[in-house]
Structure 1
């Protein structure tokens, strides 16, 4: 559900949902970020909500594979703006290796609930150069082919490298969209991938200034 101080005039909304504040943890976790997509009438049609904080693994300054941060991609559930239904789950972490990368895994949530997602996309985006997040349903033996009746390209979005001001370009296969709400879910997913680049930034480095109010709010 959404906090009581949320209002529909906000186009992008991100803040820290901390209850009891622990000043010793300031700057050591990134949590509570949320991105909401609206239609032309001003109604919320999709959202990406950070449900698992991005925190560094013990003894390091990076989000690791053993403890990834996570987002839920949400669609409205009824007429209330505070009621959402999960559509997908995105996990992200900072991958070690020859090329420093943002690693991600996306699952569609089935009727069985949050514990039984169907994995449909996994990959790595270069932290330095950026890259592209994509979902493709071309293979008949993929898990996605059992969930989506239409084959072919599903979606793709650009992801900027770390520290760069990002303006993701999102493309969606027309055969997978029947209404504005369908397209909005892919936009929310693209936003979650893009924001994960910031959420997985090394904790020894400061976030971009757009996110600094989150850490300041935790101090006040």
Structure 2
């Protein structure tokens, strides 16, 4: 419960800080409210599912997630809030002391998606792949999301990945496959995760 309260307060403070920079006193108040609206559900989730263990690992990763990797944690909190609004459910057994928040339902039945420390639609067969993304975010902190977005943009407009893509087993023969089979599995964060665990979509 203590970590949940600290997490919520950090989200409120972060929202207030951003709001204050962009809109003075009114912006500060609006930012604090937004921070509460996304930080509250995230705090509830980590308390309800006992996400962070009381051991050194749990405390250390909580600190990392709420300092160096705070931008990723906030993005994950927004992602979690949207899932909860749509009636999706926490996967409490999987989340417990895992230092991540698992949501049962994903954005798409075909894919699991991880943002920050929130992983939606995963299962035991692909969880290690999703955990790589959590590790990447913790390692790179505020650089992670911009680097991922930059790679997506670059590979969309300049598809250099075509040089090493497996055209025989994964042909790019329609528009949607350009993104699903081409851009997506070749961006750096996915390529690393697939190398560690999983087979890229074909």
**TM-score when normalising by structure 2:** 0.24
Structure number with higher helix proportion: 2
Structure number with higher strand proportion: 1
Greater relative contact order (Cα < 8 A, sep 6+): 1
Name which one, 1 or 2, has greater alpha-carbon Rg. Answer: 2
